[in-house]
Amino acid sequence: MKKTVSLLLVGYILYALAVTFYIWVGADTSLPADLAGTKADPATFLSNKELMITEEYSKIRNTIYFLTLPVEWIFYFLLLVLGGARAIQGWAEKVSKYKTLQTGIYLFWLTLFSTVIHYPLSYLRYSLSKDYGITVQPFSGWMRDQVVGFWEGILIMWIVVLLLYVLIRKFPKWWWAVAWGCFIPLVFFMMYIQPVVIDPLYNDFIDLQDKQLEAKILELADEADIPADRVYEVNMAKKTNSINAYVTGVGGNSRIVLWDTLLTRLQEEEILFIMAHEMGHYDMNHIVMGITGYIVFSFFAFYLIYLTAGKLIDRFGQRWKINSLNQLSSLPLLLLLVSLLLFLASPVTNAVSRYQEHKADVYAIELTGETEPAIEAFQEITRSSLSEVNPPALVKFFRYTHPPMVDRIAHLERYVKEE
């Protein structure tokens, strides 16, 4: 056991050194020579101080991300090999004889331990963002969001895990297929309640107060044959200086949402381009395609987890004091496998997302007929969030769901020339 833990520690240290070297020394973030002096060149719209701060902030943030990445896997792995997973189950069984309560108790302790382990890194990210002027939320507000997220996560996971283990006990060989079948309506249900139940726990949503702007946004929606009768704004100025807009929900609960910071930092034409971009996602069925892809991926994910978890318990179950997958103590193993699969799939899902974001940019240009507001909007987004214009390849590969700003702005300039 000591050897396993020692190897794990040495491996993590070597990984941390390699990642840090890559981000701070080895990665090439230089701008392509043909883009120097163009509107995609950050030197044309950022001051020297802003350039320095953006580069510094991006490197620190990327380093923290990659150093944090394995922490969850190490936590679940150590719970298994050190017997912690079985010990938590023992505590739950001592408190209650009912499986429902045992599941809730197990999830409480598992989530609490995980939160404590991750808290220093979470606070570091918050503190870093505040030091660089991205976050303006006071510590008390940030902690409130953490507490709300803690209990929200437990409640949702309680329902999911309770159902999962009922299926594992009832259908030992086919639980993965039945669970996948139950997973589909659950995804739609969560997307349906997200705008009206979950999101308001963290922020205040109201109808867009600028009715002239709302009328122009709805006019764009009508041109794109998108059924919409209202636009929402959310109070984010008390939390951040970043700007954003998005579409959320499904069916009757679909919402177009603008951050109030976007309303104060962008001009009207720039806002309309951002809205047209979001409408492009809707009109080109990106949300539907995303859900469909997620459901297809989850089918294979459930099956792989079923096969892998069974083999690992057969081989190491006695050492972990886990006799069967139907024990609650197997939950860290399932969560570990889910996390690893999502990570391994992230380069593909990120690439698909970047492609869809590019198509939405093209859609917005064609809908509005304007490129200059789009360029200025992207430049302001870069400035407000200290976004890295041309990130290292590895960072783009694993982190970027949107094309880097250098690609987006360069495409806009090429579009103008082609016209």
Q: Which of 199, 270, 278, 388 is catalytic?
A: 278
Listed residue (301, 191, 294, 331) closest to 251, CA to CA: 191
DSSP structural state of residue 135: B
Residue 357 annotated in ligand binding? yes
Structure tokens at 383: 């400035």
CB 249 within 8 A of CB 191: yes
* CB within 8 Å of 312: residues ≥ 6 apart: 333
Q: CA–CA separation, 306 vs 175, rounded Å?
A: 8
Looking at residue 414, its amino acid is R
Active-site annotation holder among 41, 260, 361, 388 = 361
Annotated ligand binding at 286? The verdict is: no
User: Among this protein's residues, is 131 annotated catalytic?
Assistant: no
Entry field: residues in the chain: 419
Burial class (CB in 10 A: 0-12, 13-18, 19+), 173: exposed
Q: Which residue, chain included where needed, has tokens 């996948």?
A: 180
Check if the beta carbon of residue 255 is closer than 8 Å to that of residue 195. Answer: yes
Tokens 């702007």 appear where?
A: 213
Return d(Cα 352, Cα 24) in angstroms, integer. Answer: 28
Q: What is the 3-state secondary structure (H, E, C) of 203-268?
A: CCEEECCCHHHHHHHHHHHHHCCCCCCCCEEECCCCCECCCCEEEECCHHHCEEEEEHHHHHHCCH
Verify whether residue 314 is a known catalytic residue. no
According to the annotation, is 402 in a ligand binding site? Answer: no
How far is 16 from 69, CA to CA, in rounded Å?
10
Neighbour order of strands in the sheet with 232-234: 205-207, 232-234, 255-259, 245-248
Active site residues: 278, 361
Residues annotated in the binding site for Zn(2+), as ranges?
Answer: 277, 281, 357
Residues annotated in the binding site, as ranges?
Answer: 277, 281, 357
